[in-house]
Amino acid sequence: MTDTASQTDRQAAAPTTSAAPGPVRRFGPLLLELSAVVPPLMMLREILRYPQMHFYDYWWVLLDITDVDGSLRPEALLGFRNEHPFVLPSLLFWLSARFGHGLNQPLGLAVLAMGVGCVLLVLAMLPKHLDAWQRAGLLAATSTLVFNPHGIHNYVRSMSGASWILAMLLVLGALLAMHREHRAIAVVLGLLASISYGTSFAVWPALALVAWLRGDRRKWIATPLVVGLVVVATWLVLRGPQGGGGSSPTDDPAQAMLAGLSMLGMVWTGTEPSVALLAGVAGLGVLVLHANQTTAERRIAAPWWGLALYALGCAVMISGSRAAFGESAGLQSRYNSMTAALWIAVLVIVVAWARWPRFRAVAVGATALATVALGAPMAQSVRADAPNQQLLAVAARIGHPDAFTDRFPSPGQLLPRLQALGHYPFSPEFSLGCPDGLNVGDRVSTATWRTPSVDSLREPRPDGRDVVLNAETDQVQGGARMLKGWAISGIERARCVAVLDQTGTVVGGGVVDIPRSDAEAATPGIESGLGFQAVAPAQPGPLRVAFQFPDGWWIRPLTEKPQVAR
């Protein structure tokens, strides 16, 4: 009796209201949502570190759409680039050239904004029944995939993102509009995507699938298909000659499957096509396992199935056109937006209509963390090319980009356009990076500049840390004189490099802070980045190469008989 009474008293004393949520439950979702800001900020840092010189395809487009005086040829906007309709990116390129001095970084910032728009559109499409943690996790994972290191090419080489990321933004907008029954807007956005890049043709079956899964009337299911057929038929009639390279398209089904499936799984590997292929197959397999949904579930999930179909359609087109470029054809950094589309769709479907609820958080977290880490090799390969772009800028500025035919076409036609537009590197933003502001065309007195006493190469120092100005490669390529070597003053690497003629006029320059493991091994305890590359006109008369260090300028003469490239 006493025990019963005590138990009753304890039950009566128990609180009748639930305990207040702890700080993790209250603030955890918010903090997770805020983590979505980190990937675009990291990509912003990459953009601001990359050179201002635009990359390869940009120059071909600029040649096509401008006259010699830099004025726009509006009819040329309707042309094609490697068979792709390229209207909107071409317009962005001209706007950048005409009003933005043709700088790579501002256009990269515009592409970054497009990427943010993609993330926000995914957020707007998320199913309403998701709880705060699920929405926050999917937002963070989406941001990670859109701004993944695998896709760094699209942002730091903005000419690429101006088509790929723009196309993804328009496709996501079209899918959202169709899902919310704004069908005319969906068609308009689909048309805009279709004139941004050819892979966007995949948006039309995706829109039809969304309409079908939603249970829309047949005319709304048929409309995207009919419009898509018209778009493709028009493209087939008007497209230009096929782009060069490889033996594309290939008639080997296995090679085509490798290219397409590896593209879908590229975020799950650094460099291995086989791993990417298995990941792509796994992603499609997960979707198949989740395909059995109720009518109500399919109606809500429609845009995500549409997004997955869009990614698959892109993979099919790429597999047919790029497979002959080798087994790594699908592992191109610029394809990241389409890979991201697939895995965003996979994650949303896995979380919102889970077959294995216990693994939802693991799937989202593992995707975000693993794909970022695995993107490091691809990101580093793009970063490693930055010095070549900087050196190209100097070569173009002095009018001798002869050694860069693989990335700067038809200089005789292109350079006058750049000069007429005030386009970088003929804009005020061009610099050799010297702390004292020394630039191409400046004339300076070198009376106080020092020259190494031993063969104009080495200056011994009491502490054993010598000054070394090693110009080991000096070669003429066309009208350009290309220099390569390494330089050090004590324990300091050079801050900039310049090439001067006998009058003290700066006629060339280049890039410093290039890794040189051999030089660094010969100077133990010294920081990395001792290498340099420079370019100057292959003109008669003696030239000198100079380096600015923290202790001042050091200069040495160059041979008057450089090698001639064959």
CATH number at residue 504: 2.60.40
> Which range among 11-25, 59-73, 432-446 shows the weakest confidence by mean pLDDT?
11-25
> Which range among 240-249, 344-353, 550-559 shows the weakest confidence by mean pLDDT?
240-249
Give residue-wise pLDDT tens across range 151-162.
999 999 999 999
Of 376, 384, 375, 379, the closest CA to residue 529 belongs to: 384
| Residue 398 belongs to a domain | no
Structural domain that includes position 543: 432-564
Cα–Cα distance for residue pair 58/93, rounded to 1 Å = 7
377 and 448 within one domain: no
Mean pLDDT throughout 105-109? 97
| Residue 62 belongs to a domain | no
Peptide bond into 273 cis (omega under 30): no
451 and 358 within one domain: no
H/E stretch holding 553 reads strand 552-557
Q: State the DSSP string of 144-208.
A: HHHT-GGGTHHHHSHHHHHHHHHHHHHHHHHHHHHHTT-HHHHHHHHHHHHTT-GGGGGHHHHHH
344 and 471 within one domain: no
**pLDDT band (50, 70, 90) for residue 249:** low
Q: Tell me the angle at which helices 132-146 and 104-125 cross, rounded to the nearest 10 degrees.
A: 150
pLDDT the model gives residue 301:
97
Q: Would the pLDDT of 490 be above 80?
A: yes
| Residue 541 belongs to a domain | yes
| Residue 409 belongs to a domain | no
For residues 135 and 59, is the Cβ–Cβ distance under 8 A?
no
pLDDT the model gives residue 565:
67
Of 345, 340, 356, 337, the closest CA to residue 302 belongs to: 345
Q: Would the pLDDT of 5 be above 70?
A: no
Q: Across the chain, which distance is largest between two alpha carbons, in Å?
A: 115
Last residue of a domain, one of 343, 362, 383: 383
294 and 369 within one domain: yes
490 and 351 within one domain: no
| Residue 91 belongs to a domain | no
Q: Would the pLDDT of 248 be above 70?
A: no
**pLDDT band (50, 70, 90) for residue 321:** confident
> Which range among 231-245, 309-323, 393-407, 440-454 shows the weakest confidence by mean pLDDT?
231-245
Q: Would the pLDDT of 422 be above 90?
A: yes
Residue 450 tokens read as 């020092």
For residues 186 and 178, is the Cβ–Cβ distance under 8 A?
yes
Give residue-wise pLDDT tens across range 224-242.
999 999 999 999 988 855 5
> Which range among 55-59, 82-86, 120-124, 295-299 shows the weakest confidence by mean pLDDT?
82-86
123 and 181 within one domain: yes
Of 552, 562, 536, 387, the closest CA to residue 467 belongs to: 552
- Please state the three-class secondary structure of 514-541 as a single string: ECCHHHHHHCCCCCCCCEEEEEEECCCC
Mean pLDDT throughout 352-368? 93
Residue 135 tokens read as 């929405």
Of 292, 267, 275, 268, the closest CA to residue 349 belongs to: 292
For residues 495 and 549, is the Cβ–Cβ distance under 8 A?
yes
438 and 368 within one domain: no
| Residue 393 belongs to a domain | no
**pLDDT band (50, 70, 90) for residue 250:** low
548 and 461 within one domain: yes
H/E stretch holding 500 reads strand 496-501
531 and 451 within one domain: yes
Domains identified in the chain, total number: 2
**pLDDT band (50, 70, 90) for residue 455:** confident
Mean pLDDT throughout 522-540? 85
Q: Would the pLDDT of 58 be above 50?
A: yes
Q: Is the dihedral of CA 391, 392, 393, 399 positive or negative?
A: positive
192 and 317 within one domain: yes
Which residues touch 272 (CB under 8 Å, ≥6 apart)?
A: none
Kindly report the average pLDDT of the chain as a whole number: 91
| Residue 1 belongs to a domain | no
| Residue 506 belongs to a domain | yes
pLDDT the model gives residue 561:
82
Cα–Cα distance for residue pair 116/41, rounded to 1 Å = 11
pLDDT the model gives residue 1:
37
Last residue of a domain, one of 383, 404, 419: 383
Last residue of a domain, one of 346, 366, 383: 383
Q: Would the pLDDT of 524 be above 70?
A: no
Which residue's structure tokens are 């390279």? 245
256 and 331 within one domain: yes
